[in-house]
């Protein structure tokens, strides 16, 4: 991040209200997420709890007064056992903090932790092929474009693509995972 003081830490139950408010902004205004109704703080607290229960990182960035500036996390990609070394990432930054490098800072931490945990692949499923900021962010972190599912979501009166990007963690698929 440049010219912006922030504290990065693990999310906790006390962050649910602020996370819900930030996410609600994107649910209501952007095709970045395919959710159409913002989840409330209780649902967000459950999601944070599930990520932590899986041993995965959910990181938040706050300003010097403790206000939420953004968050990023990784969650299991799918529940079938063969996917157990693959994760899906999410990152959201408060509108006033977009463009400061905060999303990249949060994602680098999440990526590093997931690699240390022995995961091998991280996927980003980006809402809207016109979401050039998210696509550029992920590309800057080493994610490669692997495909686009055209028109799979319908939101704001239009069809929305899902852009799929992928990052190998550690040895990726070059060798068997640790057991």
Beta bridge pairs of residue 92 = 71
Burial annotation 130-151 (CB, 10 A radius, 16+ → b, else e): ebeebbebbeebebeeeeeeee
Nearest to 120 by CA among 65, 158, 153, 167: 167
- Give pLDDT tens digits for 99-140: 999 999 999 999 999 999 999 999 999 999 999 999 999 999
Please give the DSSP secondary-structure letter assigned to residue 75.
E
Q: Are the beta carbons of 74 and 86 closer than 8 angstroms?
A: no
Phi, psi angles (nearest 5°) of residue 54? -80, 0
Cα–Cα distance for residue pair 115/142, rounded to 1 Å: 14
CB contact set of 22 (below 8 Å; sequence gap of 6+): 68, 70, 71, 92, 94
Which pLDDT score is estimated for 5?
Answer: 81
pLDDT, tens digit, for every residue of 157-178? Answer: 999 999 999 999 999 999 998 7
Please say if the pLDDT value at position 78 is more than 50. Answer: yes
Q: Per-domain residue ranges for the chain?
A: 7-168
CATH assignment of 7-168, given 3.20.20.70, 3.40.630.30, 3.40.190.10, 3.40.640.10?
A: 3.40.630.30
Q: Which residue has the higher pLDDT, 1 or 95?
A: 95
- The mean pLDDT of the chain is 95
Q: Which residues pair with 118 in a beta bridge?
A: none
Match 């990726």 to its residue by tokens.
172
The 3-class secondary structure across 115-127, one letter per residue, is HHCCCCEEEEEEE
DSSP 178: P
H/E element holding 131? none
State the pLDDT at residue 70.
98
């Amino acid at each position: 991040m440049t010219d912006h003081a922030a504290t990065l830490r693990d999310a906790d139950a006390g962050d649910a209200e602020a996370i819900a408010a930030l996410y609600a902004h994107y649910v209501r205004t952007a095709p970045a997420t395919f959710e159409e109704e913002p989840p409330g703080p209780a649902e967000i607290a459950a999601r944070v709890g599930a990520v932590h229960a899986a041993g995965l990182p959910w990181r938040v960035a706050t300003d010097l007064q403790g206000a939420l500036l953004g968050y990023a996390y990784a969650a299991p990609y799918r529940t079938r056992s063969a996917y157990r070394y693959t994760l899906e990432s999410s990152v959201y930054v408060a509108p006033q903090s977009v463009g400061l490098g905060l999303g990249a800072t949060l994602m680098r931490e999440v990526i590093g932790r997931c690699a240390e945990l022995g995961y091998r692949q991280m996927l980003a499923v980006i809402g809207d092929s016109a979401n050039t900021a998210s696509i550029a962010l992920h590309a800057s972190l080493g994610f490669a474009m692997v495909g686009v599912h055209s028109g799979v979501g319908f939101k704001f009166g239009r069809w929305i693509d899902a852009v799929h990007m992928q990052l190998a963690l550690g040895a990726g698929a070059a060798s068997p995972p640790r057991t």
